[in-house]
Structure 1
């Protein structure tokens, strides 16, 4: 997290741990605001990699699951980075860098995995004219969500993108429309305080767990160290949110990803669910295994988890589809709490 920005947030009531805004003093009230009001969240728990140089597009096109040629000044994409076996090492949001210096692309992914992914990608640059740089301190990223999010962003920054994953750049901010009522702002640091002050007059400042809950409700998978190399992209519904292209050329794991798509039904899919652990149980976490109609054999894994304003935890979990159909999915053991499956905001083929 940019240290000047960190000091600013602390002066405005933020509780920061390990570079992440965990809240503003009342986690339960913040979660309720995320459900029922318009909220403002710092997104410094995500890191940024900047790709620049004349070969940046072709390099990324040969490494990522999404069609980077579709990323331009007015469009962002979700995507994945796989190992040679087609298992996800990272999921991300990528957009064209329209502010500051260098042009190229910005990849946003969890800060905890950013160094390893950047190092791995750099190994494959070879003679390509492309440079990778940690841009996590170069931009301040904010999330705005809620029924009044569009009106609020428009009031403070002017025009907003009309469509999902549309992008508008100005001299000092890139506005990305994540959904009908969710936006991300990537801001040059010197302008961030004024924008925060303007937005926070009408939006409730909340911590990262609230934004994580909104991502879960939106069905957006975030690959963390606990789940790296566990899923092919379709298991995590990445193709359903536009993160996989089956028409582009090769990338690591592409043959396995394509085979999974065309040679049979995906046996595991990602579901939205609620888990209500007992009082004595630990909290639900990414990487927790799930059990059910296959006895002691795991039938799935939690991808992401966050406390829910409804109680318990909302999760995204990759689960054997037959087990979901049998209504037999439990957390951590056959005797654990059952998962209450909820509808996703998008359809699966």
Structure 2
């Protein structure tokens, strides 16, 4: 990616929130930005993704170190960003990272609430390797962009998902399209974040962060949160279908379990896209989903409000239970939709 020098300036969460408030944002109970002012007539959308944190891993041995930790081939990051899983020895996911490289430093993106514990855990395994693991969440601001227009609307947009490009505002990574919209995330150095937001807001509508979660769900992108750590083998979250597992790269923590799941046959549990009608209470990540006999069939992986009412969600589910009949959250039946990718 870019060889530009990365600034050491940081911006605190509180300072960034105050700036967004000055730009018309409010913040809900979960810390997500909500914009109540009417949107200007434009098809592009601009999102605050500061609920995402970053771990920076650098040093002469960084690639070798991470290659022994994660499910994907970290050596391919010079060509494109990637999804990758961080497992326990039992093959259960502690985190699902979106990994990318800037100026020979590897960045691991995941929910900000997980960052401190993951940094601590990764440092435990560094030992004598020449590796530095740091919380870089306040060195950058991550912004999301979505547009139903041609690629020209998001300037410098790469041709394919996960490819990088360098822009005057920061490092741009194209993400999988969702619901007919092209998407990208922009990683902006903290010192330039306010100026970048103002520049982008001139042609993109500032939009509620939860609507970004909806686009992620519709793209079939799962996530691991505090409530669901150590609940899933990577294939249960479709990480193989998202090119987040490399079965030829060699050993890593949990590799034996992940490989066994792959080579012994068809995966019995998968993450499926579904919708719920309006409900008396909001569904939560980690809530159980039930089969027709009201027995547990899986759990909710990701949840976001549907702008038209109700909820969009990703639900991990026993495929046998799904094939046998309806699946429920509480008394509400899930309405399943097609994922935008194929499950083996």
Q: Distance in 1 between matches of 2:162 and 2:117?
A: 26
2:172 maps to: 175
Preserved CA contact (<8 Å) 2:217 2:273:
yes
Q: Provide closer, same or farther for how the CA distance between residues 40 and 149 of structure 1 changes in structure 2, counting only shifts above 3 A.
A: farther
- C-alpha distance in 2, partners of 1:19/1:338? 26
**TM-score normalized by structure 1?**
0.89
Q: C-alpha separation between the residues in 1 aligned to 2:281 and 2:28?
A: 20
Measured after TM superposition, the shift of residue 170 of structure 1 is 4.8
Contact 1:19/1:45 (CA < 8 Å) preserved in 2? no
Which residue number in structure 1 is paired with residue 80 of structure 2?
75
Aligned in 2, Cα 1:312/1:171: closer, same or farther, shift over 3 Å?
closer
Q: What's 1:88 paired with? A: 93
Q: CA deviation at 1:192?
A: 2.0
Q: Which runs of 5+ in 1 are unaligned?
A: none
Measured after TM superposition, the shift of residue 19 of structure 1 is 8.5
Matches within 5 A, 1:104-123: 104-123=105-124
In structure 1, distance between residues paired with 2:151 and 2:198: 17
> How do 1:1-12 residues align onto structure 2 when only pairs under 5 Å count?
1-12=12-23
* Residue pairs, 1:317-332, within 5 angstroms: 317-332=315-330
**SS of the counterpart of 1:127?**
coil
CA offsets 1:218-243 (integer angstroms, 9 cap, x no match): 11111001111111000100111111
Secondary structure class of the residue paired with 2:241 = helix
Q: CA deviation digits over 1:43-69, x for unaligned, max 9? A: 100110000101111111100111101
More displaced stretch, 159-168 vs 1-10: 1-10
Question: Within 5 A, what are the aligned runs for 1:1-349?
Answer: 1-16=12-27, 20-25=31-36, 37-72=43-78, 74-98=79-103, 103-148=104-149, 150-154=151-155, 159-170=156-167, 173-180=170-177, 181-278=182-279, 281-293=280-292, 295-332=293-330, 336-349=331-344
C-alpha RMSD of matched pairs (Å) = 2.0
CA distance in 1, matches of 2:17, 2:33: 12
Is the 8 Å Cα contact of residues 38 and 149 (structure 1) preserved in structure 2? no
> What is the distance in 2 between the residues matched to 1:163 and 1:5?
31
Which digits, 9 at most, give the CA deviation of each residue in 1:252-285, with x for residues without a partner? 111000000110211110100001244xx21011
Structure 2 unaligned residues grouped into runs of 5+: 1-11
